[in-house]
């Protein structure tokens, strides 16, 4: 399967950055699927700038309701209307900053699916949980409670201690966790779980991408910091194996 190389811009980026970044992505390799997830106000300008290209656009969150009195939130149907086809849900920064629970994420995921968006559900353990030997149990539990019945989308394994730190798990630990996630998805989702893309995220850089993306059950990457520079983002994409 083609790998998905996704950039999570988090709370970075300005309107002035969009045209140049989109133009630089014209050099994207054709053997992968490329996705940019900027802050909400950049979705429409990015959709315009990327029109006619194969590069996909995603949001970083959505509300569980399709509309209503929810000040400051953004509904999945509007995200779809803005030109996005993906939405990242349950990122550890949202779980931490906004107290999002697995149940919240499951509800948002259902809303995303109803709106025609492909959800990317983030899971991952803290360093203390890994040190205590609980990483796989934590991730299995997050999957069990964050994915609604009938889930069809992407899962991203992002160990919290690897996000923005320059540290990554060993390739053995990543391969083990991705095998665990594959087994859990197959149990939960049946045949869909056997083909669900499982991304790795957390300090992916041009220097480590080839080794990480070559691992079994790694179907791409979710990239924070290194997705902000088009050259680094494209270098990571170029290092993905052909599916
Ligand atoms: P990072 O972030 O690549 O900067 O570690 C990854 C993420 O949080 O999605």
pLDDT one digit per residue (tens) for the chain, 243 residues = 899 999 999 999 999 999 999 999 999 999 999 999 999 999 999 999 999 999 999 999 999 999 999 999 999 999 999 999 999 999 999 999 999 999 999 999 999 999 999 999 999 999 999 999 999 999 999 999 999 999 999 999 999 999 999 999 999 999 999 999 999 999 999 999 999 999 999 999 999 999 999 999 999 999 999 999 999 999 999 999 997
Regarding the beta carbon of 158 and ligand 1, being less than 6 Å apart is answered yes
Regarding the beta carbon of 203 and ligand 1, being less than 6 Å apart is answered yes
Atom 9, ligand 1: residue with shortest CA distance: 224
Could you confirm whether 91 is annotated as catalytic?
Answer: yes
Q: Which residues contact 8 (CB under 8 A, 6 or more apart)?
A: 37, 60, 88, 91, 201, 222, 223, 224, 227
The answer to whether the CB of 159 falls within 8 A of the CB of 124 is: yes
Could you confirm whether 158 is annotated as catalytic?
Answer: yes
Atom 1, ligand 1: residue with shortest CA distance: 224
Mutate to test the pocket of ligand 1, among 35, 174, 199, 222 (most ligand atoms within 8 A of CB): 222
Beta bridge partners of 220: 4
Structure tokens at 151: 């889930």
Q: Which residues contact 40 (CB under 8 A, 6 or more apart)?
A: 59, 60, 74, 79, 82
Whole-prediction pTM? 0.98
The predicted structure's pLDDT at residue 30: 95
What is the number of the ligand 1 atom nearest to the C-alpha of 165?
5
Atom 2, ligand 1: residue with shortest CA distance: 224
What is the number of the ligand 1 atom nearest to the C-alpha of 156?
9
The predicted structure's pLDDT at residue 243: 76
Q: What sections of 127-224 are H helices per DSSP?
A: 127-131, 135-146, 171-189, 191-195, 206-213
């Amino acid at each position: 399967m083609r790998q998905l190389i996704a950039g999570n811009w988090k709370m970075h980026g300005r309107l002035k950055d969009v045209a140049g970044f989109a133009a630089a992505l014209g050099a994207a390799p054709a053997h992968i699927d490329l996705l940019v997830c900027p802050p909400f106000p950049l979705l429409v300008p990015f959709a315009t700038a990327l029109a006619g290209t194969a590069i996909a656009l995603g949001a970083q969150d959505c509300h569980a309701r399709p509309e209503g009195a929810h000040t400051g939130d953004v509904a999945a149907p509007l995200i779809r209307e803005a030109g996005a086809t993906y939405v990242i849900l349950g990122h550890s920064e949202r779980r931490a900053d906004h107290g999002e629970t697995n149940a919240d994420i499951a509800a948002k995921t259902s809303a995303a699916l109803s709106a025609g968006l492909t959800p990317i559900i983030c899971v991952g353990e803290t360093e203390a949980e890994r040190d205590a030997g609980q990483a796989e149990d934590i991730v299995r539990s997050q999957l069990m409670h964050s994915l609604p019945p009938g889930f069809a989308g992407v899962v991203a394994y992002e160990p919290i201690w690897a996000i923005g730190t320059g540290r990554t798990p060993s390739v053995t630990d990543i391969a083990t966790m991705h095998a665990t996630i594959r087994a859990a998805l197959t149990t939960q989702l049946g045949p869909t779980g056997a083909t669900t893309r499982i991304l790795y995220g957390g300090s992916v850089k041009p220097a480590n991408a080839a080794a990480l993306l070559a691992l079994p059950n790694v179907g791409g990457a979710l990239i924070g910091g290194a997705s902000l520079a088009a050259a680094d983002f494209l270098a990571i994409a170029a290092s993905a194996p052909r599916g």
